[in-house]
Amino acid sequence: MLISRAVTVKSKVTPLLRARLGAETQKAIREVEQELERVLSEMEKRRVLGKNDEVAGLERKARELEAQRDALAAKLKDIARLSEGQEVIQGKVQGFYEVKVGDLWPEIGTAEIVLEDGRVVAIREGSSVTLEVAAREPAAGEPER
């Protein structure tokens, strides 16, 4: 019987991954800060107009954005502390699995794909590694894959 299951996608930490994650997080911080500036400006305009009921909602929004900015700043620090070769979860995808009589259920539900700089380096099912490829540099004249 063919079933659908979640497959965890992980990436090995490399300088390239750390730089990409850092850049994405810094971009998100800038976007949150821009939105926060817009909300604070709007809040000041509403205060001048005496629309205090609207100011309260904007204050709430500003606090949420500040919390979001602080969480992103903490994430940026966490990214800097990642160890080379450490595996971090990038997300999940759906995959298919052919279930047979005698299969161990806990192992059916456990599957991972490991990436290193965008290249699949391992596929794991259950508690075993079914395929592991060592990352290597292409030989001189060999095209990159």
The 3-class SS string of the chain reads CEEEEEEEEEEECCHHHHHHHHHHHHHHHHHHHHHHHHHHHHHHHHHHCCCHHHHHHHHHHHHHHHHHHHHHHHHHHHHHCCCCCCEEEEEEEEEEEECCCCCCHHHHCCEEEEEECCEEEEEEECCEEEEECCCCCCCCCCCCC
**pTM, whole model, 2 decimals?**
0.71
pLDDT, residue 80, reads 94
* Displacement of CA 86 from its chain's centroid (Å): 14
Q: Where are the domains of the chain?
A: 2-13+84-132, 15-80
pLDDT (0 to 100) of residue 141: 53
Q: What are the distances in angstroms from CA 95 to CA 8, 110, 112?
A: 10, 11, 10
pLDDT in tens, 77-96: 999 999 999 999 999 999 99
Q: In the chain, which stretches have pLDDT less than 70?
A: 127-145
Instruction: Give residue 62's pLDDT.
Output: 96
